[in-house]
């Protein structure tokens, strides 16, 4: 029983990171139908920004995370401006391939500039482990869970309660019609990239602190897992991405807990295939008929 509880905690802290990343995928897809494969690398940039902000600028943790969010938001907007905007009216596959190209550029560019070595993230917050009913939970795990939940709520509020959020929803339904009623398409799309990338930046700094190891290729696997999470939750749906993230985290933990660690990635991708076959729109996805 204790083991199950402990594994639940492990799964939730892992899942909250996937959830934060999946939000970026799902929002960008919802608005311009593009799977932004460079998203995982923005998360890596966030972690590196945190590393230099703490080591070089002597920021405290909160400040480092906030500045990483701002930095990543900027990077996201720039990537959209230079790489995706010129291709907005090209076939979707062109934009998709560009996204993969941007991902390679970021990974190898960072390897070139900062070397491929894993570096240790400055431990600005001392790890304290609490024992509750035989379970061990560290303050950092709580911090990750708390921050992730807070950011997800904040995002939900922005999308549902603000004017910009309304514009985002309008663009995602029909970009042409949204322009007709006076919504600035470019601003809305830039804002979406900024929001999604800020989430990834926060996730990067949190992961840096939690695992204490960052490298230029750290965004690859989590990026793909988060993409799976977004698809499982129903790509384009914000609550779906959060749920999908937690589900993937718990699934991965569960598979390892029963001793099948060699298959943990395989199981995640297997679930992706099953979901695509059985529930192609995902858990929260709306079934839409493609107009021919």
Partner 1 sequence: MIKWHKHIIKISALATIVLALAGCSTAKNNGSSQGNNPGQTIKIGVNMELSGAAAGYGQQQKQGIQLAVNKINQAGGIAVGKTHKKIQLVIRDNKTSNTTAASVAAQLVNNDKVVAVVGPAATNAGTASIPNMTKAAVPSVSPSATDPGYTLQKNGDVQKYIFRACFQNNYQGSSAAKFMTNTLKAKNVAILTDNSSDYGTGLAKAFKKTYTGKIASNQTFQEGDKDFNAILTALKHKKIDAIYAPGYYSELGLIIKQARQAGIDVPVVGSDGMADAKLTKIAGKSNTNKVYYTTPFSTKAGETNPKAASFLKAYQAKYHATAPTFSALAYDSIYMIKSAIESEQSANSVKITTGLAKLKDFKGVTGTITMNQNHNPEKSMVIEKMTNGTISQAYTIK
Regarding 132 and contact with partner 1 (CB under 8 A), the answer is: no
Rounded to the nearest 5 degrees, what angle is found at the Cα of 22, between the Cα atoms of 19 and 26? 135
CB 251 within 8 A of CB 268: yes
- Out of 149, 257, 279, 283, name the contact with partner 1 by CB under 8 A: 257
Rg (the chain; Cα; Å): 19
Within 95-124, which residues bind partner 1 (CB under 8 A)?
108, 111-112, 115-120, 123
Q: What is the spatial distance between Cα 99 and Cα 117, in angstroms, rounded to a whole number? A: 25
- Out of 220, 267, 279, 283, name the contact with partner 1 by CB under 8 A: 220
Report the residue number, 194 or 207, with the smaller CB distance to partner 1: 207
Q: Which residues of 78-110 are buried (b: 16+ CB within 10 A; e: fewer)?
A: ebbeebbeebeeeeeeebbebbeebbeebbeeb
Regarding 3 and contact with partner 1 (CB under 8 A), the answer is: yes
What sign results for the dihedral spanned by CA atoms 160, 237, 93, 218?
positive
Regarding 94 and contact with partner 1 (CB under 8 A), the answer is: no
- Out of 213, 273, 276, 280, name the contact with partner 1 by CB under 8 A: 213
Question: Tokens 């600035």 identify what position?
Answer: 184
Rounded to a whole number of angstroms, the minimum distance from the CB of residue 67 to partner 1 is: 23
Backbone φ, ψ for residue 131 (5° rounding): -110, 115
Rounded to a whole number of angstroms, the minimum distance from the CB of residue 76 to partner 1 is: 23
Report the residue number, 185 or 220, with the smaller CB distance to partner 1: 220
Report the residue number, 6 or 179, with the smaller CB distance to partner 1: 6
Q: Kindly indicate which of the ranges 161-169, 189-197, 230-238, 247-255 contains the residues binding partner 1, using the contact rule CB under 8 A.
A: 247-255
CB 3 within 8 A of CB 9: no
Within 151-210, which residues bind partner 1 (CB under 8 A)?
207
Report the residue number, 127 or 162, with the smaller CB distance to partner 1: 127
Question: Tokens 């192609």 identify what position?
Answer: 280
Question: Tokens 């990974």 identify what position?
Answer: 107
Indicate the angle between helix axes 220-233 and 264-278, nearest 10 degrees.
Answer: 30
Report the residue number, 82 or 269, with the smaller CB distance to partner 1: 269
Report the residue number, 94 or 115, with the smaller CB distance to partner 1: 115
Residues binding partner 1 (CB under 8 A):
3, 6-7, 10-11, 13-14, 108, 111-112, 115-120, 123, 127, 129, 136, 138, 207, 211-213, 215, 217-218, 220-221, 252-259, 261-262, 265
């Amino acid at each position: 029983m204790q083991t199950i509880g402990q594994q639940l905690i492990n799964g939730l802290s892992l899942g909250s990171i996937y959830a934060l990343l999946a939000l970026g995928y799902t929002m960008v897809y919802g608005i311009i139908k593009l799977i932004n494969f460079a998203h995982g690398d923005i998360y890596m940039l966030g972690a590196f920004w945190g590393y230099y902000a703490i080591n070089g600028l002597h920021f405290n943790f909160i400040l480092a995370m906030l500045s990483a969010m701002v930095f990543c938001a900027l990077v996201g907007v720039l990537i959209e401006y230079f790489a995706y905007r010129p291709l907005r009216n090209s076939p979707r596959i062109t934009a998709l391939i560009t996204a993969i190209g941007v991902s390679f550029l970021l990974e190898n560019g960072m390897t070139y500039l900062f070397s491929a070595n894993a570096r240790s993230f400055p431990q600005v917050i001392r790890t304290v482990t609490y024992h509750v009913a035989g379970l061990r939970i560290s303050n950092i795990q709580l911090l990750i869970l708390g921050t992730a939940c807070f950011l997800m709520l904040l995002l939900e509020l922005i999308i549902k309660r603000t004017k910009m959020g309304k514009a985002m929803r309008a663009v995602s339904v029909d970009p042409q019609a949204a322009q007709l009623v006076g919504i600035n398409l470019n601003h809305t799309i830039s804002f979406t990239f900024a929001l999604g990338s800020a989430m990834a930046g926060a996730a990067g700094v949190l992961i840096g602190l939690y695992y204490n190891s960052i490298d230029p290729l750290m965004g690859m696997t989590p990026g793909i897992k988060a993409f799976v999470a977004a698809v499982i939750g129903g790509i384009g749906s914000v609550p779906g991405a959060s749920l999908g993230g937690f589900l993937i985290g718990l699934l991965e933990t569960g598979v390892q807990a029963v001793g099948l660690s060699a298959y943990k990635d395989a199981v995640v991708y297997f679930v992706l295939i099953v979901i695509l076959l059985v529930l192609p729109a995902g858990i929260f996805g709306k079934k839409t008929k493609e107009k021919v």
